[in-house]
């Protein structure tokens, strides 16, 4: 009975998740031939065929074709800020692969059980025939994502990503490269209203033209100092969050675990 109820809860949570930008890679394509036309798609559960192939440190895991990470879910307006730091990985082509592969690491408010708006910011990493590139972006869905300028990254840099809702219709997205001292920020106003019921730390394989883009082997992304601030002023961590692993072609290709203040997402494909 408990397992059935848990399955229903996970299914309900995953069915409404909205990933990042509709058009982030459309912008990229204008200046970079390796860009993908990114289309927003819900985070849907896989059929679980490969679940027995995964060894995980997290008890209750849902399986998705495009989202890996942790999502806190509240019944009422709760979360006003989400932050986390990670070391920029060196993406690589999966074993036997060639061409262009991408992934994106981001934090956000809403986009899971709340579909109407999402405030998020993060870093894309792309490898194309051994050439690696990184791009920082911010977004208030349903508007598309916009690239930050004035910030650069190298593999091994420590990056902090933070979103803060100063109201349900306004807020900020900030990215700081702790290694080179660069900080960029965008202020939003008069946006579609957030529900403030979700807080998330995600690595994503996104959709382009109706299919997922080739997913980069990103190694491991660990969000440290991962926390969400509530409207009462308290701070909570990702322990106990809903966890998603990516399953594609009947194979689980990520492994996610959480602690009180971290979310670790590893590529295991």
Is residue 204 flagged as an active site residue? yes
181 vs 252: CA distance, rounded Å: 37
Q: Which two tokens stand for residue 245?
A: 């692993």
With CA atoms as reference, report the closest residue to 15 among 42, 34, 53. Answer: 42
Active-site position among 139, 196, 200, 204: 204
215 vs 64: CA distance, rounded Å: 13
CB 125 within 8 A of CB 24: no
Whole-number Cα distances in Å, 169 to 112, 140, 146, 165, 176 = 18, 10, 18, 8, 23
With CA atoms as reference, report the closest residue to 13 among 35, 36, 45. Answer: 45
110 vs 108: CA distance, rounded Å: 6
DSSP assignment of 126-190? EEETTEEEEEEEEEEETSPPEE--S----TT-EEEEEEEEEETTEEEEEEEETTTTEEEEEEE-S
The torsion angles phi and psi of 88, rounded to 5 degrees, stand at -65, 125
90 vs 138: CA distance, rounded Å: 21
Q: Is the peptide bond before 121 cis (omega within 30 degrees of 0)?
A: no
Catalytic residues: 204
């Amino acid at each position: 009975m408990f397992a059935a109820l848990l399955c229903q809860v996970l299914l309900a949570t995953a069915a409404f998740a909205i990933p990042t930008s509709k058009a982030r890679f459309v912008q990229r394509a204008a200046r970079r031939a390796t860009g993908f036309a990114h289309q927003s798609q819900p985070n849907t559960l896989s059929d679980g065929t490969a679940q027995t192939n995964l060894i995980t440190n997290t008890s209750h895991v849902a399986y998705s074709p495009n989202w890996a990470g942790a999502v806190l879910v509240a019944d009422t307006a709760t979360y006003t800020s989400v932050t986390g730091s990670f070391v920029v990985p060196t993406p690589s082509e999966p074993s036997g692969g060639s061409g262009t592969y991408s992934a994106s690491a981001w934090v956000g408010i809403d986009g899971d059980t709340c579909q109407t708006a999402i405030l998020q910011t993060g870093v894309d990493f792309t490898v194309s025939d051994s050439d690696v590139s990184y791009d920082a972006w911010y977004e208030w869905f349903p508007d598309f994502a916009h690239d930050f300028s004035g910030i650069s990254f190298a593999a091994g840099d420590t990056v902090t990503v933070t979103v803060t809702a100063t109201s349900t219709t306004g807020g900020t997205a900030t990215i700081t490269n702790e290694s080179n001292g660069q900080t960029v920020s965008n202020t939003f106003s008069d946006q579609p209203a957030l529900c403030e019921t979700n807080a998330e730390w995600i690595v994503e394989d996104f959709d382009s033209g109706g299919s997922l883009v080739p997913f980069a082997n990103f190694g491991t992304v660990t969000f440290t100092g991962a926390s969400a601030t509530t409207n009462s002023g308290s701070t909570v961590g990702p322990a106990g969050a809903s966890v998603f692993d990516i399953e594609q072609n009947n194979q689980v290709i990520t492994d996610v675990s959480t602690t009180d203040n971290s979310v670790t997402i590893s590529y295991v494909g």
